């Protein structure tokens, strides 16, 4: 007699073959509200593509088959190449085809940065690793435009798919880029040879890089192509790839420059202000990426608990689990509405608001992502901790955006610097907050300025970020979401962990809004 010992049941199906954009109602609403309604069909089409089983599988494959460094060929010739699994090229090619690397520059029109944010968010929910070269390329254009001749040469190449990376930090300095020791020797008025070492070179397979080096006039920004004008290899050598906690599908490297040919961007000695034109846009992408992470964590948790049963009921029908899921959804929506409002500031070239809000939201959104990922993973129990499920990768990826482009303390110091140098930036953010006309918010920001000291900078930035998110939710989200956020983030009715929304919360409305 045969006995069935392995009948599989009560296991949720994979979340796949769904429209990532259309299922994300706060994102879809924000696309239209923030000035990119013209991109609605484009975003829906892309959301359908990235939500396919095949595309999701590419993300798993790209992380399971990590990049491999080839420094030399079999004859001993230096080649400095990185080999990627075909799935990586499929994901990157899909992104470039849909303009994620340069949409606002290729199609300059109102709402282009908002449209790109929605597309970038949809892809990042499926796989974040390819985001690095996409973000660097998108962000390089404003810096390149400080040298019109170079921009005229490279922007058509970018439109055709050329990609940019960045190499700023060195091992002895890290974020203190003024401690860099890479030297730039002038060959002509605009051409130099660079010699030195970079501790982190993002996306080393790109076509060109923005690099900082010490020129005779001080720290300067340079464009360094992988190949010289005659097609020969530049003296750009890969030493090793980083063995990272997450972001495994993407190659990050240490490089050595040996009299590598480069062209100056901006004036000598103005390297930091020049490259900050790039960094501002990559910080926007950090916010987008972390918001996408929280949306994906929320979607996976709601999907899983809606299909899994315990103690005679679906997990999602247990009161405490509903509280956790709804709290995750509230946090996700707050991040989404804020990142889309921030993207609009780039469309409108709203300097004061953009200057401060970028640093504030970069700090807070990226700080919340790891905690959110951990709670979402826990909703899946042991399955969430297994690499075959998507939450393990999401969890490992979550801390990166908080480190990339300036970690938490750097963002807080930047906030203080922005307020000191451009006081109108704080007034612009406070004006945005005041549009909610809400007494809870008025009380929250009343004594905000008392925290304007370095030792209390994190408290100040956190409070300002929460006020901005609350204002946007009050104006644009259903009352159930806004009230839950204000009660727990402003009024102190919640606890320190997710899942502490107060009695009276409309859990059903929140979960229905965020379900896939």
At residue 3, does pLDDT exceed 80?
no
Q: Point out which residues pair with 192 in neighbouring strands.
A: 186, 262
Percent of the chain with pLDDT strictly greater than 90: 92
Mean pLDDT to the nearest integer, 184-204: 96
Query: Which pLDDT value is given to residue 288?
Result: 98
pLDDT tens digits along 115-148:
999 999 999 999 999 999 999 999 999 999 999 9
Quick one: three-class SS letters along 436-449? CCCHHHHHHHCCHH
Query: Which pLDDT value is given to residue 493?
Result: 85
pLDDT tens digits along 38-84:
999 999 999 999 999 999 999 999 999 999 999 999 999 999 999 99
Domains along the sequence of the chain with CATH: 25-159 (no CATH), 164-270 (2.40.110.20), 274-514 (1.20.140.10)
Under a CB-based contact definition with an 8 Å cutoff, are residues 259 and 194 in contact? yes
pLDDT tens digits along 417-438:
999 999 999 999 999 999 999 9
Q: Is 361 left (phi over 0), alpha (psi -120 to 50) or beta?
A: alpha
Query: Which pLDDT value is given to residue 293?
Result: 98
At residue 2, does pLDDT exceed 70?
no
- Across the chain, what does the average pLDDT equal? 96
Mean pLDDT to the nearest integer, 365-388: 97
Under a CB-based contact definition with an 8 Å cutoff, are residues 15 and 299 in contact? yes
Q: Measuring CA to CA, how many Å separate 179 from each of 168, 212, 259, 263, 276?
A: 11, 11, 20, 21, 17
At residue 1, does pLDDT exceed 60?
no
Q: Point out which residues pair with 70 in neighbouring strands.
A: 81
């Amino acid at each position: 007699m045969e006995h069935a010992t392995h009948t599989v049941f009560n296991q949720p199906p994979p979340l796949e073959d769904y429209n990532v954009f259309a299922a994300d109602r706060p994102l879809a609403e924000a696309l239209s509200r923030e000035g990119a309604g013209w991109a609605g069909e484009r975003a829906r089409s892309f959301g359908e593509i990235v939500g396919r089983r095949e595309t999701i599988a590419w993300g798993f494959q790209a992380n399971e088959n990590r990049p491999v460094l080839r420094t030399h060929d079999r004859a001993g010739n230096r080649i400095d190449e990185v080999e990627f699994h075909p799935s990586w090229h499929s994901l990157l090619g899909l992104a470039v085809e849909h303009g994620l690397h340069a949409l606002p520059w290729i199609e300059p029109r109102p709402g282009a940065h908002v449209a790109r944010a929605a597309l970038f968010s949809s892809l990042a929910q499926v796989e974040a690793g390819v985001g690095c070269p996409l973000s660097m390329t998108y962000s390089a254009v404003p810096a390149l435009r400080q040298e019109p001749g170079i921009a005229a040469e490279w922007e058509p190449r970018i439109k055709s798919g050329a990609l940019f990376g960045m190499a700023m930090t060195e091992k002895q300095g890290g974020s203190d880029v003024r401690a860099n020791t890479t030297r730039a020797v002038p060959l002509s008025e605009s051409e130099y040879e660079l010699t030195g070492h970079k501790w982190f070179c993002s996306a080393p397979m790109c076509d060109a890089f923005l690099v900082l080096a010490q020129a005779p006039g001080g720290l300067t920004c340079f464009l360094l192509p992988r190949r010289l004008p005659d097609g020969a290899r530049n003296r750009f050598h890969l030493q090793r790839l980083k063995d990272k906690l997450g972001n495994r599908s993407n190659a990050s490297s240490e490089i050595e420059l040996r009299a590598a040919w480069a062209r100056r961007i901006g004036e000598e000695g103005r390297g930091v202000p020049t490259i900050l034109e790039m960094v501002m846009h990559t910080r926007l992408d950090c916010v987008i990426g972390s918001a996408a992470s929280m949306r994906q964590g929320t979607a996976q948790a709601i999907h899983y608990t809606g299909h899994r049963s315990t103690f005679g009921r679906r997990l999602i029908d247990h009161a405490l689990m509903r509280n956790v899921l709804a709290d995750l959804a509230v946090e996700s929506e707050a991040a989404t509405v804020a990142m889309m409002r921030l993207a609009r500031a780039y469309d409108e070239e709203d300097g004061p608001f953009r200057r401060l809000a970028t640093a504030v939201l970069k700090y807070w959104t990226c700080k919340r992502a790891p905690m959110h990922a951990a709670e979402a993973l826990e909703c899946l129990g042991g399955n969430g901790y297994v690499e075959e499920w998507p939450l393990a990768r999401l969890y490992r990826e979550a801390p990166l955006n908080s480190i990339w482009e300036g970690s938490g303390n750097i963002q807080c110091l930047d906030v203080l610097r922005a307020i000191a140098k451009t006081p109108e930036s704080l007034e612009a953010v406070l004006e945005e907050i005041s549009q909610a006309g809400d007494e809870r918010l008025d009380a929250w920001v009343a004594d905000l300025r008392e925290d304007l000291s370095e030792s209390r900078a994190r408290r100040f930035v956190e409070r300002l970020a929460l006020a901005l998110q609350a204002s946007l939710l009050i104006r644009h989200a259903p009352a159930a979401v806004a009230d839950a956020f204000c009660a727990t983030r402003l009024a102190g009715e919640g606890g320190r962990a997710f899942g502490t929304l107060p009695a009276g919360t409309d859990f059903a409305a929140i979960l229905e809004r965020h379900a896939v």
